[in-house]
Amino acid sequence: MQDSVEKAVTSNPELGARFQDFQSSLEGQNVAQGGLLPEVNAEGWIGKEWRGSTSLSKSHDWTRKGYTLQLRQLIFDGNSTLNTVRQLGLEKVSTYYDLVSTIDSVAMEAAAAHIDVQRYREMELLARENYQMHLNTLGQVRERSESGVGRGVDLEQAMGRQALAQSNLMTESGNLNDVLQRYRRIVGQPAPAVLVDAPTFDEKLPSNPENFDNSLLANPSILSKQALLQAADKGVDVARGNFSPTLEFRASTGRDRNERPNELTGRHHTAQASNVQLVASYNLYRGGADSARVRQTKAQSYAARDVRDYTCRNVQQELSIAWNNIVRLREQIPFLRDHELATSKVRVAYMQQFQIGQRSLLDLLDTENELFDARRALRNAEYDLKLAELRWLTFSHQLLPALGLQQPHNQDVPEEAEDLIFPQEALQVCMEPVPDTANLQPVMVEYRNNMEPPVLRQVSAN
């Protein structure tokens, strides 16, 4: 499984797209930071100029050239530019955690595809064995019918069950073909003929958790939404900056030369100008746009808070459902295993009894179907348990470490991530105690005499 997940994480194009989104947000912040640095502009010109005649000179034209050099430095703008940098920095953090969340999601999909390939290969094998059992039974019934011992209706019934077994085999083969294509899409290459079983996650899972707080605080989807919320709050500060004056430092110099010599002196005219200024500007009226922008950004902040809260609730739900399934399947599998073992023994006994006429064909066929269903139920439960464990680890941001793999892009964590503050009251809103799974404990049935109603009591499965 580690190989499947590692190949998916390193080659899946969805992760490449997310990484480029992160790089884009990084450069977007760099663009905004440019507004805090000096701006230097140079301008030069050269061209023909014509001047009409005057009382002192005739009309003439000449080649004129010059240049200007200007320095501008923002001093104050109500911290609007600085808050824009901070806002984009937090949006960068959100994009980073979106990347991490996608890595977890792709890793989970790869692990699930790995398990499902194993599952449906085994389901196809069980269906093939079931088909072969029905084929053998049909052969025995046909021999009995041809020898005059069996009944014609038994042959029809055996042929019908054999046709159903064939249909089941085709269904499982189709399911296997589907999941093989899913594996190839996620991992990027065909599934190998032999897949190694998933490792044991018992040591990676909590034994008796009281809550899922640590899992919620580590979940990258929640962290991404928290970063977006704090970025939206900075957006409000950016909008408020429009109510402040702007102060700039400007310095410039330039030269403009007239290459036509003076008719009296024969010398060129050259104009040199330099200046240093503090320029203040303040908007007096903009049609209410600035006030509307503040209201707009506040609404965006409220929306970001709601998105964070329902994301937290969704993750809490997914963790609870995964934990419910883990507890249920752990309790259920021993009984499914007992059922399969008992049904297997019954099938052998029924076959022997059928051959000596003590069991009907219907008894034998029903037992074969029950054994097929018991085997499928046990194998599906075992694979479902692995998927539930993987799902819980995924939403706890522990899947890759549990598989012994390094988290990609750990070195790319933005420094602004240290500014994330997840309020305790927000955690309390979505946090719920670990689900009560007492009703998942097995029940023992104690039968009474004289057909009295049975007594049900909880027992532990050993």
Write out pLDDT tens, residues 367-421: 888 998 999 999 999 999 999 999 999 999 999 999 999 888 888 889 989 988 8
Q: Say how many C-beta atoms besides its own lie within 10 A of residue 335's C-beta.
A: 13
Mean pLDDT of the region 208-230? 90
Give the β-pairing of 39-51 and 269-281. Answer: unpaired
Handedness of CA 81, 87, 92, 95 (dihedral sign): negative
> Which residues lie closer than 8 Å to 246 by C-beta, 6 or more apart?
74, 76, 77, 78, 280, 281, 282
The pLDDT score that the predictor gives to residue 244 is 94
Three-point CA angle 26, 28, 30, nearest 5°: 75
What is 2-44+78-283+309-458's CATH number?
A: 1.20.1600.10
């499947």: which residue's tokens? Answer: 4
Question: What residue type is 161 in one-letter code?
Answer: R
pLDDT digits (tens, 9 = 90+) for 59-68: 767 777 889 9
The pLDDT score that the predictor gives to residue 203 is 84
Query: 7-11, 105-109, 337-341, 446-450 — which one is most confidently predicted on average?
Result: 105-109
What SS3 class is residue 188?
coil
Listed range (30-39, 122-131, 258-267, 355-364) with the worst mean pLDDT: 258-267
- Residue 203 contacts residue 154 (beta carbons within 8 Å): no
The pLDDT score that the predictor gives to residue 157 is 82
pLDDT digits (tens, 9 = 90+) for 225-269: 999 999 999 999 999 999 999 999 999 999 887 656 665 555 667
- Residue 114 contacts residue 399 (beta carbons within 8 Å): no
For residue 295, give Cα distances in angstroms to 284, 304, 417. Answer: 19, 14, 27
Mean pLDDT of the region 286-306? 94
Scanning 251-408, the segments in alpha helix (DSSP H) are 289-355, 361-395, 399-402
Question: With pLDDT > 70 as the criterion, what percentage of the chain qualifies?
Answer: 89
What SS3 class is residue 17?
helix
Give the pLDDT band of residue 361 (cuts 50, 70, 90).
confident
Give the pLDDT band of residue 148 (cuts 50, 70, 90).
low
The pLDDT score that the predictor gives to residue 306 is 93
Question: With 80 as the cut, is the pLDDT of residue 287 above it?
Answer: yes
The pLDDT score that the predictor gives to residue 351 is 82
Mean pLDDT of the region 273-290? 93
The pLDDT score that the predictor gives to residue 110 is 95
pLDDT digits (tens, 9 = 90+) for 103-116: 999 999 999 999 99
pLDDT digits (tens, 9 = 90+) for 153-172: 778 888 888 899 999 999 99
CA distance 10 to 407: 11
Question: With 80 as the cut, is the pLDDT of residue 87 above it?
Answer: yes
Q: How many residues does the chain have?
A: 462
Mean pLDDT of the region 145-150? 66
Question: With 60 as the cut, is the pLDDT of residue 277 above it?
Answer: yes
Mean pLDDT of the region 142-157? 72
Question: What residue type is 253 in one-letter code?
Answer: T
What SS3 class is residue 320?
helix
Nearest to 133 by CA among 435, 398, 367: 367
The pLDDT score that the predictor gives to residue 272 is 86
Give the pLDDT band of residue 322 (cuts 50, 70, 90).
very high
pLDDT digits (tens, 9 = 90+) for 328-359: 999 899 999 999 999 888 888 888 887 777 77
The pLDDT score that the predictor gives to residue 211 is 80
Query: What are the boundaries of each domain within the chain?
Result: 2-44+78-283+309-458
The pLDDT score that the predictor gives to residue 262 is 62
Give the pLDDT band of residue 141 (cuts 50, 70, 90).
confident
User: Mind spelling out the 3-state secondary structure of 400-439?
Assistant: HHHCCCCCCCHHHCCHHHHHCCCCHHHHHHHCCECCCCHH
- Residue 409 contacts residue 99 (beta carbons within 8 Å): yes
Mean pLDDT of the region 299-306? 95
Give the pLDDT band of residue 151 (cuts 50, 70, 90).
low
Mean pLDDT of the region 273-282? 94
The pLDDT score that the predictor gives to residue 64 is 78
More confident site: 172 or 363? 172
Question: With 60 as the cut, is the pLDDT of residue 462 above it?
Answer: no
- Residue 184 contacts residue 109 (beta carbons within 8 Å): no
CA distance 393 to 201: 9
Question: With pLDDT > 90 as the criterion, what percentage of the chain qualifies?
Answer: 55
Q: Is 308 exposed, middle or buried (0-12, 13-18, 19+ CB in 10 A)?
A: buried
Mean pLDDT of the region 427-432? 76
């500014």: which residue's tokens? Answer: 419
The pLDDT score that the predictor gives to residue 270 is 76
Torsion of CA 361, 367, 368, 373, to 10 degrees: 150
More confident site: 157 or 443? 157
